[in-house]
Amino acid sequence: MPHRHRYHIIALAALGFGLLVAAFAMFNWNHANPAVAQEPELPEADGQAIAEFILTESPYQDWGSWTPDRWTDFGAYVQGGEPHGSTIRIFVNDVAQEAVAAEDFDGILPPGSLVVKENFMGSPEEPGDLAAVTAMYKVEEFAPEGNDWFWLSVAPDGTVNAEGAVEMCSACHAQEGHADYLLRYAFGEEPATFFGDPLPEADGDAVMEYVLQTNDYTAWASWPSDDVNIEDFSGLLPGQEPHGVAVRIFVNDRALAAIERDDFNGILPPGSIVVKENYMGTVEEPGDLAAITVMYKVDGFNPEANDWFWVMSAPEGAVDAAGAVDMCIACHAQEGNSDYLLRYQLQVPETAEE
């Protein structure tokens, strides 16, 4: 065979092999990176367009919110203040949530970020009817002196009351200490504005001071009983090692509120606290309190164990063990346990499963 033909055959074979490799690589890429459903196109910097977007095209109530932190449970109705309602609820679009979660986040939300606040005149327990909806929408080059935020206030039916570079909004949100003009959220750091006592840092002494003095755990409720969790958690229960022969469980409001939400996913949010009293006697005659053990969920503390911070203390609060306690993690991580809980099976609402 002439050399020239031989070279042509070799070249064609190499080309075919290259195309085969490329096709295989594309096949793998497509399977490793499945198509992602795209959000509706973001609106222009216009009040009516934004109102239509958040109320109809991409309903804000389908969004999530900021990750709960030490200061605020963003999944709940929370206390508000003027000029907003006495009670508010905050929703955040994916653009903003994904930016904050990125490792290289620099503390400034990107264009396309949308934060919606529902405003109510009642209390967090009884908010009443929706009074107004306010929104912050970051539009590139809209108002550089105000971090490009476009402000919007609408009635519940979508009627626009104020829009654009609203001076009252900009002035209030520009106060010193606010993070990128946000009032209630500072990307995990202490915000300039919050209500009530913040939850403790991830520190054993701080946690015990909180549950014994700042927010006395004995005033808390416990897990509700249901078809799966048939025990009466309001009183003493039989226990076992390494806890007492009898135990009593208390759960903070943040955890109890989370399990009642329609979108609860079976994992308790940051800020959840579960306190267990340990007694050496029987349920009928428990004797004196022997020890207190605490599970406290702290965002980012220990992701491989669902971020639980563990504390074991004497009754008066002297800490015997705290942190990522191996013995606690190993026991509570047993197969079948629900988010590291031993005595309670967290239930996912049918609406959240759909």
Q: Which domain CATH number covers 115?
A: 3.50.70.20
> Per the domain annotation, does 187 fall within a domain?
no
Residues 2 and 115 in one domain: no
> Per the domain annotation, does 181 fall within a domain?
no
Look at residue 182 and give its three-state secondary structure. Answer: strand
* pLDDT at residue 16 in the model: 45
Residues 164 and 224 in one domain: no
pTM of the model: 0.84
Q: Where does the pLDDT of residue 176 fall: very low under 50, low under 70, confident under 90, or very high at 90 and above?
A: confident
Concatenate the DSSP letters of all residues of 86-154 into one string.
SEEEEEE-HHHHHHHHSTT--SSPPTT-EEEEEEESS-SSS--SEEEEEEEEE-TTS-GGGTTEEEEEE
Residues 239 and 315 in one domain: yes
Residues 347 and 211 in one domain: yes
Residues 14 and 87 in one domain: no
Q: Where does the pLDDT of residue 38 fall: very low under 50, low under 70, confident under 90, or very high at 90 and above?
A: very low
Residues 152 and 218 in one domain: no
Q: Print the domain residue range for 232.
A: 204-353
The tokens for 140 are 């590139």
Residues 348 and 301 in one domain: yes
What is the rounded CA–CA span in Å between residue 190 and residue 184? 9
Q: What is the pLDDT of residues 289-310, one digit of tens each?
A: 999 999 999 999 999 999 999 9
Q: What is the pLDDT of residues 76-122, one digit of tens each?
A: 999 999 899 999 999 999 999 999 999 999 999 999 999 999 999 99
What is the rounded CA–CA span in Å between residue 146 and residue 164? 11
Q: What is the pLDDT of residues 179-212, one digit of tens each?
A: 999 999 999 999 988 999 999 999 999 999 999 9
> Per the domain annotation, does 87 fall within a domain?
yes
> Per the domain annotation, does 317 fall within a domain?
yes
- Centre a 10 Å sphere on the Cβ of residue 201 and count the other Cβ atoms it contains: 12
Phi, psi angles (nearest 5°) of residue 290: -100, -35
Q: How many residues does the chain have?
A: 354
- Asked whether the predicted pLDDT for residue 217 surpasses 90, the reply is yes
Q: Which domain CATH number covers 221?
A: 3.50.70
> Per the domain annotation, does 192 fall within a domain?
no
> Per the domain annotation, does 196 fall within a domain?
no
Residues 7 and 61 in one domain: no
Residues 155 and 131 in one domain: yes
Residues 345 and 210 in one domain: yes
* pLDDT at residue 289 in the model: 98
Residues 349 and 267 in one domain: yes
* pLDDT at residue 12 in the model: 40
> Per the domain annotation, does 218 fall within a domain?
yes
Q: Answer yes or no: are the C-beta atoms of 343 and 231 closer than 8 Å.
A: yes
Residues 31 and 51 in one domain: no
The tokens for 120 are 């109510």
How many structural domains does the chain have? 3
> Per the domain annotation, does 325 fall within a domain?
yes
The tokens for 114 are 């949308």
